[in-house]
Amino acid sequence: MKRGHIIALGVFIALILLVSLGITFVGKVPMTTDVRPLGLFYLKNSYFGNYAARSPEVVTSILWDYRGLDTLFETGVFFLAIISALALFRIEKKEEKVKEKGEGFTFIVKDTVRIISVLIVAVSAAIALHGHLTPGGGFQGGSALAVVPLLIIVAFSKYALEGRGLTKDTAMIVRSIGLISIIILVLIPLAAGGYLMQNLPVFPSHILGQLTSGSLVFYNLFEYIAVGAGFTAVFLLLSIPEKVFHKIIGGEKE
Amino acid sequence: MIFIHLVILAISMILGFVFSYLAIMEEDLLKAVIYSAGQGVMFSIAFYILMAPDVLLAYIAIAIGIYTALLVFVISKTERKEVV
Amino acid sequence: MIEMFLWALVLVSLMATLVISIYGIVIRPSLIKKLIALTILTDSANLLAIMIGYRLIYPVIPPVLPQRTQEGLSKFIASSVDPLPQALVITAVVIGMAVNVLIAFAIIQIYRICGTTDVRKIAEVMKDGKT
């Protein structure tokens, strides 16, 4: 950190304090103390009421029930972004295994990663599957799950994952299974005579005495699979050594 | 007391501003990534104080874990210094 | 009054973060630095959206129903924050991450073709037509 940065930061923070003091004395700070009518509707109707999703978690019920189509198309954007990233990095030839120099990390790092990765998988599954009861859901659980292949790639190598069968193609297949299941879940209420992405009368709110909030638990499960596997595929591609690409790109040019 | 909430919120927001200033002005990109992760920590404290646990769970995994690792991968594949 | 000052301080420092990230996107030459500034901009915009849904009252709780009874519901409505901005921001965070991955891959591809991540040098290389 240079001396000029410290002085500039001091000036900026003093300016921020002055401006906020000025705003306070003018008295034009928006301080809301009540919920807007639309938010109030969701808070009232999430568990009780005629338009209920039977879920005590209001955010998840907005995500997958009240504004479900928005989330569906956001999932489409996610799909497109991952697909275009994979298209930028495509390798048509079969890639060779690059011998790495050195011995890697010590056993402390490796054993810690072995234990921690199992724990993270368990925690992320809990976040995703309890998404209709407590804070959490498919997006959150999936992004927590994506930390696991990253840790394994950093601590061991990408060949540790690929040797156990988790290649890019497997991750893509798992992700496609998740997305196709979401599409099928969207279409089921149409077949049962309801609307697109309808939740409650079509799906049961309790299964075996457990509160499942209709289709929310299934959407969370499949979104968890799709997000986790999508990020896994991206990181498997990103960890290919640059030598492989230089060989392929250089070969095409000449 | 809402006073204590607001004090914690204000401190974390000012520290978030400091970290983002350092991240943008730093010429060594690897250090900039670390500062950016610090900004992520401060913003996740702010999300917690603002009563958004759902956003917090997604944000803390993405902004501190995945995103930092992504940028470290990108820097290792490209170049580390920024020439202004 | 002191609460109003603190809330104004929070809002003004968030605005300052927005401005400095826009500076980073526009002025700084490195593409990776532009990506870092873009994520800071996204995060501050998300935080601003969450702040719109916050309520400045004391017993304030997250939008999760604590008890499944009618009295619990009325207490919950009296003190819960607005859930709608949070629901919109969750998807924005995760989808923003996927789009950032795409941008990062594009930066690596540009580096392979042009040999630099500096926008001025990229412009020169593109003008000369040599790779």
For Cα atoms A167, A170, A172, give the angle at the middle one, nearest 5 degrees. Answer: 110
Of the given ranges (A74-83, A101-110, B7-16, C87-96), which has the lowest mean pLDDT?
Answer: A101-110
Q: Please give the Cα distance from C62 to C76 (Å, whole number).
A: 9
CATH of domain C2-55+83-128: 1.10.287.3510
Summarised one tens digit per residue, pLDDT across range A135-191 is: 988 999 999 999 999 999 888 888 888 888 888 889 999 999 999 999 999 999 898
Residue A252 pLDDT = 53
Does C57 sit within 8 Å of A24, measured CB to CB?
Answer: no
Segment among A31-40, A109-118, A171-180, A240-249 with least mean pLDDT: A240-249
Helix, strand and coil in chain C, % to nearest 5? 75, 5, 20
Domain ranges across chain C? 2-55+83-128
d(CA B81, CA A211): 54
**pLDDT score for B31:** 92
pLDDT at res. A251: 56
On the question of pLDDT at C89 being above 70, the answer is yes
Is residue A254 scored above 50 in pLDDT?
no
Is the ipTM above a cut-off of 0.90? yes
Round to the nearest angstrom and report the end-to-end CA distance of chain B: 47
Model confidence at C50, pLDDT cuts 50, 70, 90, reads very high
State the residue for tokens 């593409």.
Answer: C31
Which of B57, B70, B84 would best serve as a mutation to test chain A binding (most A beta carbons within 10 A)? B57
B62 has a chain A CB within 8 A of its CB: yes
Instruction: Give the neighbours of chain A: at least 3 Cβ pairs within 8 Å.
Output: B, C
Average of per-residue pLDDT across A219-242? 90
pLDDT in tens, A84-135: 988 888 776 666 666 666 777 888 998 999 999 999 999 999 999 998 888 9
Residues from chain B contacting residue A143 (CB–CB below 8 Å): 58, 61-62, 66
C31-60: average pLDDT: 92
Is residue B3 exposed (0-12), middle (13-18) or buried (19+ Cβ within 10 Å)? Answer: exposed
Burial call B14-40: b when 16+ CB within 10 Å, e when fewer: bbbbbbbbbbbbbeebeebbbbbbbbb
Q: What pLDDT, on the 0 to 100 scale, is given for residue C10?
A: 93
With a pLDDT cut of 90, the percent of chain C lying above it is 46
